Amino acid sequence: MNIIKGYIEENKDRFLEELFGLIRIPSVSSLNEHKPDMLKAAEYWKEIILKAGADKAEVMPTDGNPVVYGEKIIDSSLPTVMVYGHYDVMPVDPIELWETPPFEPNIRDGKIYSRGADDDKGQSFMHAKAFELMIKTNTLPCNVKFMIEGEEEIGSVCLADFCIKHKELLKADIILVSDTGMIAQDIPSITTGLRGLSYMEVEVEGPNRDLHSGIFGGAVANPANILAKMIASLHDENNHITIPGFYNDVIVINEHERAEMAKAPFNLEEYKNVLDLKEVWGEKGYTTNERTGIRPTLDVNGMWSGYTGEGAKTVLPSKAYAKISMRLVPNQDNEKISELFKKHFETIAPDNVKVKVTALHGGQAYVSPLDMPAYKAAEMAYSDTFGKRPVPTRSGGSIPVIADFEKILGVKSILMGFGLESDAIHSPNESFPLFNFFKGIETIPLFYKYYAALMRK
């Protein structure tokens, strides 16, 4: 313990400087203009892994953004841990809401503020530094592989192919991921379930051009009004999703399990206060944690039509658009759900408009068992550094590749996330507390220690 804390204390400032170098590269995967930044970020990662002491590291091409692969094989008879993370980040808009520029990391109130501070540059970087620490202090007990991709935020479109192609290279006993959150700084938790995702874009076209709303208003279907009506119809009065067949494959969680889950610490008043909500919202018959943990959902992520500038423009728009995503639970197939959505949306479109429905990306849900050695090792590591046992939780978020890893590589993942809800990932002013960053670097080597020990038995 002293060795770990001592090494962190000595190298603190350098760790942050190196992380900041990565953050300063605006590697937004969803925008084509940032293509060159993707390669820069990948090269930066390669250097970091090499300098930490890897045997080798390389930037490997895919049909999209490259994957950084690195490894340190100390003894082929020892277990192998593969670290998965991503160097790409979300877009930054609305840019005007950022208090400091998103790609200039800024420390205030003990937090790093920047896009990617948590998701996932900050979190994945903890692994690079924990790896360096174990090598430099001669405490590395396992073989280590790194697979850091650049398309997580756009659905890891090329990673499944990459895994199929490099199955041998990527052999491992466990995949270690920090891309999720924990309940609070004093309540460590391990994510044991992730939701799947089906992300769609819809276009509703009315007249073939924008019209004057005075001359045509009332006589021509307004695609914005029609889209609103179609979106509204996707939930019933109990906030159930109305797409036929949507719930068919959802596994009903029994009362006992729900009672167990309800024991996780949660304060509804605080939740509402933090988000400034008068009331929460959701599917009738379920609690807030159940709504994000065990139930599928449907949300508009973006919606646009007509005139959106200042003042008034009396236009009857030709087209209206929405990005709509569904979070799925284990046993729901994202491709099947995308198909059901498409079919339903086309079916409910009235005769006076044309609709186009496109699946933008998706992924399957994932559940990790509590009895595997990696879970136990993680539990012990957190117990050492936080002084209490971590709580197993189901996250509402999705990391689509986690299900792919199991399917293609036959390897389970352990999700040791150190983020907080207040980190505002995907939002303006994303942050990551210094406490969590350094606590992560401290906890990870202990995971390796206990994992190696448990695997030896």
Shortest distance, position 93 Cβ to a second copy, whole Å: 7
Shortest distance, position 417 Cβ to a second copy, whole Å: 11
Q: Is 187 helix (H, G, I), strand (E, B) or coil?
A: strand
313 binds a second copy, rule: CB under 8 A? yes
Which residues have a Cβ under 8 Å from the Cβ of 302 and sit 6 or more positions away?
Answer: 321, 322, 323
In 136-249, DSSP assigns E strands to 143-149, 174-177, 189-194, 196-205, 211-212
Q: Is 345 helix (H, G, I), strand (E, B) or coil?
A: helix
Shortest distance, position 292 Cβ to a second copy, whole Å: 5
444 binds a second copy, rule: CB under 8 A? no
Which residues have a Cβ under 8 Å from the Cβ of 281 and sit 6 or more positions away?
Answer: 239
The alpha carbons of the chain give a radius of gyration, in whole angstroms, of 23
Distance, CA of 112 to CA of 206 (rounded, Å) = 46
Q: Which stretch binds a second copy (CB under 8 A): 109-117, 120-128, 203-211, 335-343?
A: 203-211
Does an H or E element contain 311, and which?
Answer: none
Q: Nearer to a second copy by C-beta: 115 or 129? A: 115
Shortest distance, position 290 Cβ to a second copy, whole Å: 9
Q: Which of residues 353-382 bind a second copy (CB under 8 A)?
A: 354, 360-361
Q: Which of residues 221-250 bind a second copy (CB under 8 A)?
A: 221-222, 224-225, 227-229, 231-235
Residue pair 177/200 in contact (Cβ under 8 Å)? The answer is no
211 binds a second copy, rule: CB under 8 A? yes
Residues binding a second copy: what is the number (CB under 8 A)?
Answer: 101
Q: Are strands 391-394 and 189-194 parallel, antiparallel or unpaired?
A: parallel
What DSSP state is assigned to residue 285?
A: T
Q: Which of residues 83-122 bind a second copy (CB under 8 A)?
A: 90-91, 93-94
Shortest distance, position 314 Cβ to a second copy, whole Å: 6
Shortest distance, position 201 Cβ to a second copy, whole Å: 8
**Residue from 9, 109, 269, 276 in contact with a second copy (CB under 8 A):** 276
**Residue from 2, 13, 214, 252 in contact with a second copy (CB under 8 A):** 214
Which residues have a Cβ under 8 Å from the Cβ of 439 and sit 6 or more positions away?
Answer: 385, 386, 418
Q: Which stretch binds a second copy (CB under 8 A): 120-128, 139-147, 159-167, 422-430?
A: 422-430
Q: Nearer to a second copy by C-beta: 24 or 291? A: 291
**Residue from 218, 238, 369, 387 in contact with a second copy (CB under 8 A):** 218
Site map 328..357 versus a second copy, x via CB under 8 A: ----------------------xxx-x---
Residue pair 70/54 in contact (Cβ under 8 Å)? The answer is yes
Q: Nearer to a second copy by C-beta: 38 or 320? A: 320
321 binds a second copy, rule: CB under 8 A? yes
Distance, CA of 116 to CA of 122 (rounded, Å) = 6
- Rounded to 5°, the CA angle 77-83-85 comes to 165
Shortest distance, position 92 Cβ to a second copy, whole Å: 10
Shortest distance, position 275 Cβ to a second copy, whole Å: 4
Q: Which stretch binds a second copy (CB under 8 A): 62-70, 71-79, 371-379, 423-431?
A: 423-431
- Contacts of range 107-110, beta carbons closer than 8 Å, 24 or more positions apart: 107/16, 107/434, 110/433, 110/434, 110/435
Alpha-helix residue ranges (DSSP H) falling in 97-153 = 121-136
CA separation, residue 129 to residues 255, 341, 365 (Å): 43, 43, 30
**Residue from 169, 264, 303, 434 in contact with a second copy (CB under 8 A):** 303
Q: Which of residues 115-174 bind a second copy (CB under 8 A)?
A: 153-155
Distance, CA of 176 to CA of 378 (rounded, Å) = 10
Shortest distance, position 55 Cβ to a second copy, whole Å: 36
